[in-house]
């Protein structure tokens, strides 16, 4: 890691600050990560059974980023991201039932069954969507931030994107204008080292470390271990505060690794098994659990109890999704256009 | 009633937006310090300030996207893309995002964004700067496409656009800015999706929009000299499209020609022609005629540039020939 | 000059016909309206008559050939006249239309792209009649065969205007028959046994039959376009009735039974010869005097009304007329009237005498210019030379198109009919 703090002097983030954490808070972080993990595993099962169709991109292995970052935000802040969006949505507090129902194409889904896995929305929770055109959410984040600024609010906009998006023109346009207009954006780069199947070293001049791309735009940028939830938390707390002060955007590159393929269709031929196995030993959930136990914050019983509750939540979500009705033929034609103002 | 240039009608429309609605702001290339490439926003920066009259970098994708994003949280942005040719750079934002968000979010999101842009050829700006793409956008569900032909409609429809909660392509024809027309002092609106009978007639219906309305009107005057009475319909909007007015007219005249500036292949005239024959096949006393620009890039040289833009003589000949009039 | 005989349109849905048999050989003399071949359609074999006279110069379509409607099957002309290779030119006919169009639309000063927008859709490939959709619709409504209509549109396409302005050409009708199979009522009631065809539920909306639609359209058109005026007169039929009885008694064994209507028809024919305007058609560019007198007789049936005509009856005797009317009624019942009988009337008579009505006025049947409406013949007191007597009186009312005749002429015509009927010997015997 090159740099993990926005402060001038280098500081290595450690897990030692777990010691300052309450038990409930630690269990909260653990349970959020585990919820995402179990939700994704169930989604994959449903995909194999044919209940989830289309594209399914799971967040397994990257849970620490969403869980480390999103709960830091206030309710009036905004989250917008890419198509690997289940983790972000759950971390933002979207009901797992509504999310699972959306994956199953049911009318009770958080997008009414019209968006699917890649397009989860919950505007009440300021979750502004998963967006499936690589890089396309970046200009939208700029716009939300501009709206915040024009409304003279102090909300921040957290925008997730992957290493693939960095090579889109929209990324550079967004960096420039965010910096130029000092917009309240936290750019959250999830660098999982592969743009679909292409190694970032083969797609980007300068190699796998990307945060330097923000520097020409005068945006403060750091790189952190995205598999360390406490590191993510600490950096995001700092970054969000900076943005909220009105000093313009920050850029956080979280180094990550997705344990499964790009999507369900991906045989992962482009990564060797050794690399995958090695990264799996760095499982962010296991690491946090072990650190917590080591720090004496939680014990095996606590963990087992949480795991049991999460299993129930996910099974309820599955049952809800399975039992929910499909959209009607009329729904095909609703919400293509908005109602006129005043209606 | 006061006469007004279309440019001034647009200026008035934009001033109203800024005066009446705190949520509205303008954003685009050279709209502030420069005063707008077509001088529509001259003097705006001084009056409304940089926050509400935002000069942008030449980054169409991101400033159109910024319009969408701000609309997603309740602003009512008016984004200017200097010409419709440059909207292609922002097409991902317009089509994959603006047009989809309401639907994909199942109505949770609305995108009340007006994208003003300048369309049309005839100014010897050559192939990349002389195009008309309204028809492309009109084929995308979720977008509205407004194509005024007169100062009255430009102002009146812009007022309606401000009340609409959808992404709108508001395409102003470059050669119409200097066109004068009557614009009443008192407030009025022109609803979206209601075509205008620019001139009533009985023998043939000429359907046009934007810059081609004037061509159709000229053609109608020439046909009148030969006792051929044309009904000229200005579509005003391509989406929503007022097909009813067209069909009513075709039922009366039994003959119809559609005049459109852009290329014939894929032109919106094809959609209209198809709709007409489906809805009124037994009313037709001849083929539905499409008078479009030919499928060539716009050249620079004036003489050949003029050959690719439908003219009134062209319309007259085509009508007489095809209908045996 | 050689004339091409073309495959006739004998049904709205007929696209082609088969030449079954030639009744004439090449080189033989052909009279006008003489049958020259037998043509088979989907529905029947019919005789095909030549519409010009001369020598059958060439048989283009041999027996057994299937020929699209409108294409030449033979050529008639003067003996020895040169005939080109007709069959070849015919085959190329459709492409030739396109070629000539392209030439027409090739103004050198126009940009090349102009052609793209002005190109006419390619012409018929199988001799199909070119007509616009609305022209086809109107033709169907008005029972006009498009084969009879000449097209003024590009490539000879028949337009709405062509159909609307179409007037049946009686002189050539025999060779270009209109086919009405689908619209001919199958059961045409005898005019004295009119029954009301009603099976409806109160409050129900009945669909409008084709015939009803046709009547509605024709009557509205007539009353809209034709300024009607009416002249009525009482006609003393005493002499006519008595003469009729005598004739019927005398010729009973010959099967003759004259009706009152026969007498009226005959009187009208003579009056029309004296006042030919009542036998003419009003057209925008002039008054078309018909060279024949075709008296149309309104016949009511269960579905509505038809007005078929006895054709070319100007020189016919009363007995012949009687026979023709009887024949017309019979064939109207059996649905075997010819198309020209349906549409060829030049003057019409509507007789409601069997209903015991004293008088009524009728609507003119376009393109005719007049119709005579007659009520029943009933005994009434009349005054002759100051004495009251019993007379057999009938009221007749002429409806006439004011564009072609005026009131005084209407009166003259009607009085002529009256004169003839009141002194019937002159024309009955």
Distances in whole angstroms, Cα of residue C3 to Cα of each of A13, A305, C7, C25, C63: 106, 105, 13, 16, 20
* Cβ-contact B134, B187 below 8 angstroms: no
Question: Is residue B164 located within the same domain as residue B203?
Answer: no
CATH code for the domain defined by C3-91:
2.40.50.100
Tens-digit pLDDT profile for residues B247-305: 999 999 999 999 999 999 999 999 999 999 999 999 999 999 999 999 999 999 999 99
d(CA C312, CA C420): 20
Domain of residue B109, residue span: 2-183
Confidence of residue C182 (pLDDT cuts 50, 70, 90): very low
- Domains identified in chain B, total number: 2
Q: Give the residue extent of every domain in chain C.
A: 3-91, 210-428
**Does the pLDDT of residue C90 top 70, yes or no?**
no
Q: Give residue for tokens 């391509």.
A: B238
- Rounded to a whole number of angstroms, the distance from the CA of A21 to the nearest CA of chain B is 35
Question: Is residue B106 located within the same domain as residue B245?
Answer: no
Mutation target to probe the C interface, by most C beta carbons within 10 A, among B203, B255, B264, B322 is B322
Question: Is residue B225 located within the same domain as residue B165?
Answer: no
Asked if the Cβ–Cβ distance from A136 to B75 is below 8 Å, we say no
Asked if the Cβ–Cβ distance from A141 to B69 is below 8 Å, we say yes
Element (H, E) at B28: strand B24-28
Mutation target to probe the C interface, by most C beta carbons within 10 A, among B255, B266, B285 is B285
Confidence of residue C122 (pLDDT cuts 50, 70, 90): very low
**Rounded average pLDDT over B165-172:** 98
- Rounded to a whole number of angstroms, the distance from the CA of C163 to the nearest CA of chain B is 11
* CATH assignment at residue A20: 3.40.50.970
Omega before B240 cis (within 30°)? yes
Position A9 in a domain: no
Question: Measured between beta carbons, which residues in chain B are less than 8 angstroms from residue A131?
Answer: 97
**Rounded average pLDDT over C189-196:** 37
Burial code of A190-226, b = ≥16 C-beta within 10 A, e = fewer? bbbbbbeeeebeeebeeeeebbebbeebebbbbbbbb
Asked if the Cβ–Cβ distance from A174 to B62 is below 8 Å, we say yes
Lookup: tokens for B14: 């934009």
Question: Measured between beta carbons, which residues in chain C are less than 8 angstroms from residue B321?
Answer: 104-105, 118, 120, 154
| Residue C136 in contact with partner chain B when CB distance is under 8 A | yes
User: Chain C neighbours among B 285-324 (CB < 8 Å)?
Assistant: 285-287, 289-294, 296, 307-308, 314, 317-318, 321-324
Residues of C designated as active site = 402
What local confidence, expressed as pLDDT, does residue C116 receive? Answer: 40
Question: Measured between beta carbons, which residues in chain B are less than 8 angstroms from residue C121?
Answer: 287
Mutation target to probe the A interface, by most A beta carbons within 10 A, among B17, B28, B73 is B73
Tens-digit pLDDT profile for residues C270-296: 999 999 999 999 988 889 999 999 999
| Residue B281 in contact with partner chain C when CB distance is under 8 A | yes
| Residue C120 in contact with partner chain B when CB distance is under 8 A | yes
Asked if the Cβ–Cβ distance from A144 to B72 is below 8 Å, we say yes
Question: Measured between beta carbons, which residues in chain B are less than 8 angstroms from residue C132?
Answer: 254, 284-286
Residues making up chain C, counted from first to last = 429
Mutation target to probe the A interface, by most A beta carbons within 10 A, among B87, B107, B168 is B107
List of chains touching C (3+ CB pairs within 8 A): B
Domain of residue A240, residue span: 15-92+103-321
Position A268 in a domain: yes
**Does the pLDDT of residue C111 top 70, yes or no?**
no
- Nearest C-alpha in C relative to B281: C133
- Angle, CA of B42, B43 and B47, to the nearest 5°: 145
Confidence of residue C142 (pLDDT cuts 50, 70, 90): confident
Q: Give residue for tokens 């409930």.
A: A24
Q: HSE on the CB side for B1, CA within 13 Å?
A: 12
Q: Which of B181-185, B253-257, C15-19 has the lowest mean pLDDT?
A: C15-19
What local confidence, expressed as pLDDT, does residue C95 receive? Answer: 31
What local confidence, expressed as pLDDT, does residue B279 receive? Answer: 94
SS (H, E, C) chain A: CCCCCCCCCCCCCCHHHHHHCCHHHHHHHHHHHHHHHHHHHHHHHHHHCCCCCCCCCCCCCCHHHHHHHHHHCCCCCEEEEECCCHHHHHHCCCCHHHHHHHHCCCCCCCCCCCCCCCCCCEHHHCEEEEECCCCCHHHHHHHHHHHHHHCCCCCCEEEEEEHHHHHCHHHHHHHHHHHHCCCCEEEEEEECCEECCEEHHHHCCCCCCCHHHHHHHCCCEEEEECCCHHHHHHHHHHHHHHHHCCCCCEEEEEECCCCCCCCCCCCCCCCCHHHHHHHHCCCHHHHHHHHHHHCCCCCHHHHHHHHHHHHHHHHHHHHHHHHCCCCCHHHHHCCCCCCCCCC
| Residue B284 in contact with partner chain C when CB distance is under 8 A | yes
Asked if the Cβ–Cβ distance from A128 to B72 is below 8 Å, we say yes
Q: Which of B96, B110, B163 sits opposite A133 (nearest CB)?
A: B96
**Rounded average pLDDT over C51-71:** 86
Phi, psi (deg, nearest 5) at residue A47: -65, -45
Position A342 in a domain: no
Closest CA to A159 of A125, A192, A179, A136: A136
**Rounded average pLDDT over C181-194:** 35
- Nearest C-alpha in C relative to B254: C134
Confidence of residue C329 (pLDDT cuts 50, 70, 90): confident
Asked if the Cβ–Cβ distance from A338 to B102 is below 8 Å, we say yes
Position A4 in a domain: no
Position A330 in a domain: no
Question: Measured between beta carbons, which residues in chain C are less than 8 angstroms from residue B228?
Answer: none
Q: Which of A142, A337, A339 sits opposite B65 (nearest CB)?
A: A142
Asked if the Cβ–Cβ distance from B104 to A114 is below 8 Å, we say yes
Confidence of residue C410 (pLDDT cuts 50, 70, 90): very high
**Does the pLDDT of residue C98 top 60, yes or no?**
no
- Domains identified in chain A, total number: 1
d(CA B117, CA B84): 5
Question: Is residue B203 located within the same domain as residue B177?
Answer: no
Domain boundary among B183, B210, B239: B183
* Cβ-contact C372, C396 below 8 angstroms: yes
Position A97 in a domain: no
Position A338 in a domain: no
Q: Which of B61, B104, B107 sits opposite A173 (nearest CB)?
A: B61
| Residue B283 in contact with partner chain C when CB distance is under 8 A | yes
What local confidence, expressed as pLDDT, does residue C210 receive? Answer: 67
What local confidence, expressed as pLDDT, does residue C121 receive? Answer: 41
The sign of the dihedral angle between the CA atoms of A169, A159, A320, A305 is positive
Q: Is B33 exposed, middle or buried (0-12, 13-18, 19+ CB in 10 A)?
A: exposed
Beta bridge partners of residue A82, listed in sequence order = A131
Q: Give residue for tokens 């090739």.
A: C106
Q: Do chains C and B touch (3 or more CB pairs under 8 A)?
A: yes
Q: Which of B67, B97, B109 sits opposite A136 (nearest CB)?
A: B97
Q: Which of B281, B285, B322 sits opposite C120 (nearest CB)?
A: B322
Tens-digit pLDDT profile for residues A275-303: 999 999 999 999 999 999 999 999 999 99
Asked if the Cβ–Cβ distance from B70 to A133 is below 8 Å, we say no
Asked if the Cβ–Cβ distance from C116 to B264 is below 8 Å, we say yes
Element (H, E) at C380: strand C378-384
Asked if the Cβ–Cβ distance from B163 to A341 is below 8 Å, we say yes
Residue-averaged pLDDT of chain B: 97
Question: Is residue B58 located within the same domain as residue B86?
Answer: yes
Position A194 in a domain: yes
Question: Measured between beta carbons, which residues in chain B are less than 8 angstroms from residue C118?
Answer: 289, 317-318, 321-322
Question: Measured between beta carbons, which residues in chain C are less than 8 angstroms from residue B291?
Answer: 117
Which distant-in-sequence residues (6+ apart) come within 8 Å of A10 by Cβ?
A3, A4
Question: Is residue B305 located within the same domain as residue B266?
Answer: yes
Which distant-in-sequence residues (6+ apart) come within 8 Å of C198 by Cβ?
none
Query: DSSP 3-state assignment of C290?
Result: coil
- In chain A the first and final C-alpha atoms are separated, in Å, by 53
* Cβ-contact B115, B170 below 8 angstroms: yes
Provide the phi-psi class of A279: left if phi over 0, else alpha when psi is between -120 and 50, else beta.
alpha
Asked if the Cβ–Cβ distance from A337 to B102 is below 8 Å, we say yes
- In chain C the first and final C-alpha atoms are separated, in Å, by 45
* CATH assignment at residue B253: 3.40.50.920
List of chains touching A (3+ CB pairs within 8 A): B
Of 3.30.559.10, 3.90.1200.10, 3.40.50.300, 3.40.50.720, which CATH number belongs to C210-428?
A: 3.30.559.10
Element (H, E) at C330: helix C318-334
Closest CA to A177 of A144, A224, A132: A144
Q: Give residue for tokens 């990564």.
A: A271
Q: Which of A310-324, B155-169, C331-345 has the lowest mean pLDDT?
A: C331-345
- Rounded to a whole number of angstroms, the distance from the CA of B65 to the nearest CA of chain C is 39
Mutation target to probe the A interface, by most A beta carbons within 10 A, among B32, B76, B104, B144 is B104
The interface pTM score, or ipTM, of the predicted complex is 0.93
d(CA C200, CA C18): 44
Tens-digit pLDDT profile for residues B34-55: 999 999 999 999 999 999 999 9
Query: DSSP 3-state assignment of C270?
Result: helix
Confidence of residue C3 (pLDDT cuts 50, 70, 90): confident
**Does the pLDDT of residue C171 top 80, yes or no?**
no
d(CA A200, CA A189): 13
**Rounded average pLDDT over B84-90:** 97
**pLDDT under 50 in chain A at which residues?**
9-16, 342-343
Lookup: tokens for A257: 């690794």
Q: Do chains A and C touch (3 or more CB pairs under 8 A)?
A: no
Closest CA to B93 of B111, B120, B118, B119: B111
| Residue A136 in contact with partner chain B when CB distance is under 8 A | yes
* Cβ-contact C397, C359 below 8 angstroms: yes
Question: Measured between beta carbons, which residues in chain B are less than 8 angstroms from residue A335?
Answer: 102-103, 105-107
Question: Is residue B14 located within the same domain as residue B66?
Answer: yes
Q: Do chains A and B touch (3 or more CB pairs under 8 A)?
A: yes
* CATH assignment at residue B32: 3.40.50.970
Within this chain, domains C3-91 and C210-428 share the same CATH topology: no
Asked if the Cβ–Cβ distance from B104 to A340 is below 8 Å, we say no
C-alpha Rg value of chain C to the nearest Å: 25
């Amino acid at each position: 890691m090159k740099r993990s703090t926005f402060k001038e002097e280098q500081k290595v983030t450690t897990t030692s600050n777990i010691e300052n954490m309450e038990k409930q808070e630690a269990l909260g972080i653990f349970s959020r990560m585990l919820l995402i993990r179990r939700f994704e595993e169930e989604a994959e099962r449903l995909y194999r059974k044919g209940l989830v169709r289309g594209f399914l991109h799971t967040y397994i292995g990257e849970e620490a980023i969403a869980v480390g970052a999103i709960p830091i935000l206030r309710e009036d802040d905004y989250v917008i991201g890419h198509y690997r969006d289940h983790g972000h949505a759950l971390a933002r507090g979207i009901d797992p039932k509504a999310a699972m129902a959306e994956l199953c194409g049911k009318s009770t889904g958080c997008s009414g069954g019209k968006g699917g896995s890649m397009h989860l929305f919950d505007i009440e929770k300021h979750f502004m969507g998963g967006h499936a055109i690589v890089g396309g959410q970046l200009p939208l984040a700029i716009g939300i931030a501009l709206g915040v600024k024009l409304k003279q609010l102090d909300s921040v906009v957290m925008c997730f994107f992957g290493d693939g998006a960095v090579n889109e023109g929209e990324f550079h346009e967004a960096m420039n204008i965010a910096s130029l207009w000092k917009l309240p954006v936290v750019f959250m780069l999830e660098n999982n080292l592969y743009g679909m199947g292409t190694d970032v070293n083969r797609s980007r001049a300068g190699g796998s470390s990307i945060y330097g791309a923000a520097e020409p735009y005068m945006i403060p940028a750091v790189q952190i271990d995205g598999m360390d939830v406490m590191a993510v938390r600490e950096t995001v707390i700092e970054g969000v505060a900076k943005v909220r002060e009105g000093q313009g955007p920050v850029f956080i590159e979280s180094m990550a690794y997705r344990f499964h393929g790009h999507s369900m269709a991906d045989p992962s031929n482009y990564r060797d098994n050794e690399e995958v196995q090695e990264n799996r030993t760095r499982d962010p959930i296991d690491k946090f659990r072990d650190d917590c136990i080591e720090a004496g914050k939680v014990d095996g019983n606590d963990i087992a109890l949480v795991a049991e509750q999460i299993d129930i939540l996910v099974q309820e979500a599955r049952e809800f999704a399975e039992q929910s009705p499909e959209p009607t033929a009329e729904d095909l034609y609703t919400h293509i256009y908005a109602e006129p103002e005043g209606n | 009633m006061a006469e007004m240039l279309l440019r001034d009608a647009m200026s008035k429309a934009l001033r109203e937006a800024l005066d009446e609605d705190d949520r509205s702001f303008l954003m685009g290339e050279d709209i502030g310090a420069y005063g707008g490439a077509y001088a529509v926003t001259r003097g705006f920066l001084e009056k409304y300030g940089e926050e509400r009259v935002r000069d942008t970098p030449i980054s169409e994708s991101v400033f159109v996207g910024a319009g969408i994003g701000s609309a997603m949280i309740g602003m009512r942005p008016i984004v200017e893309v200097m010409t419709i040719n440059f909207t292609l750079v922002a097409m991902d934002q317009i089509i994959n995002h603006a047009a989809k968000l309401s639907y994909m979010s199942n109505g949770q999101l609305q995108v009340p964004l007006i994208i003003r842009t300048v369309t049309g050829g005839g100014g010897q700006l050559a192939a990349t700067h002389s195009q008309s793409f309204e028809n492309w956008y009109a084929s995308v569900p979720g977008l509205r496409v407004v194509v005024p032909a007169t100062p009255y409609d430009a102002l009146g429809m812009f007022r309606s656009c401000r009340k609409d909660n959808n992404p709108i392509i508001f395409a102003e024809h470059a050669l119409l800015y200097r066109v004068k027309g009557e614009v009443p002092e008192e407030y009025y609106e022109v609803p979206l999706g209601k075509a205008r009978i620019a001139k009533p007639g009985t023998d043939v219906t000429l359907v046009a929009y934007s810059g081609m309305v004037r061509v159709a009107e000229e053609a109608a005057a020439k046909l009148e000299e030969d006792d051929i009475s044309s009904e000229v319909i200005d579509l005003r909007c391509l989406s929503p499209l007022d097909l009813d007015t067209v069909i009513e007219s075709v039922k009366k005249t039994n003959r119809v020609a559609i005049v459109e500036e852009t290329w014939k292949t894929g032109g919106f005239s094809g959609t209209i022609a198809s709709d007409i024959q489906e809805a009124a096949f037994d009313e037709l006393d001849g083929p539905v005629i499409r008078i479009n620009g030919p499928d060539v890039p716009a050249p620079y040289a004036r003489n050949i540039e003029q050959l690719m833009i439908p003219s009134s003589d062209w319309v007259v000949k085509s009508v007489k020939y095809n209908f045996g009039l | 000059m050689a004339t091409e005989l073309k495959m006739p349109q004998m049904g709205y849905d007929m696209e082609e016909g088969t030449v079954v048999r030639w009744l004439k050989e090449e080189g033989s003399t052909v009279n006008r309206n003489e049958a020259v071949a037998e043509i088979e359609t989907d529905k029947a074999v019919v005789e095909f008559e030549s519409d010009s006279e001369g020598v059958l110069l060439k048989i283009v379509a041999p027996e057994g050939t299937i020929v699209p409607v409108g294409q030449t099957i033979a050529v008639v002309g003067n003996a020895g006249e040169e005939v080109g290779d007709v069959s070849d030119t015919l085959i190329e006919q459709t492409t030739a239309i396109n070629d000539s169009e392209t030439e027409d639309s090739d103004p050198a000063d126009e940009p090349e792209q102009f052609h793209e927008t002005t190109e006419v859709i390619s012409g018929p490939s199988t001799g199909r009649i070119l007509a616009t959709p609305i022209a086809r619709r109107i033709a169907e409504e008005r029972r006009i065969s498009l084969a009879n209509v000449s097209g003024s549109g590009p490539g000879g396409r028949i337009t709405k205007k062509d159909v609307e302005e179409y007037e049946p050409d009686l002189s050539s009708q025999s060779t270009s028959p209109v086919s009405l199979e689908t619209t001919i009522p199958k059961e045409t009631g005898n005019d004295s046994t009119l029954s009301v065809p009603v099976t409806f539920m109160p409050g129900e909306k009945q669909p409008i039959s084709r015939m009803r639609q046709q009547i509605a359209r024709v009557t509205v058109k007539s009353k809209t376009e034709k300024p009607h005026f009416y002249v009525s007169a009482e006609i003393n039929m005493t002499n006519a009735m008595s003469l009729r009885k005598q004739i019927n008694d005398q010729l009973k064994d010959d099967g003759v039974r004259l009706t009152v209507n026969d007498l009226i028809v005959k009187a009208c024919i003579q009056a029309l010869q004296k006042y030919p305007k009542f036998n003419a058609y009003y057209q925008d560019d002039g008054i078309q005097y018909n060279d024949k007198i075709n008296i149309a007789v309104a016949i009511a049936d269960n579905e509505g009304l038809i007005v078929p005509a006895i054709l070319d009856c100007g020189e016919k005797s009363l007995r012949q007329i009687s026979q023709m009317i009887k024949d017309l009624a019979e064939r109207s019942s059996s649905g075997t009237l010819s198309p020209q009988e349906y549409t060829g009337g030049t003057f019409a008579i509507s007789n409601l005498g069997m209903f015991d009505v004293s008088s009524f006025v009728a609507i003119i049947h376009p393109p005719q210019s007049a119709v005579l409406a007659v009520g029943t013949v009933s005994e009434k007191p009349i005054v002759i030379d100051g004495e009251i007597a019993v007379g057999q009186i009938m009221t007749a009312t002429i409806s006439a198109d004011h564009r072609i005749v005026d009131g005084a002429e209407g009166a003259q015509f009607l009085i002529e009919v009256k004169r003839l009927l009141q002194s019937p010997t002159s024309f009955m015997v």
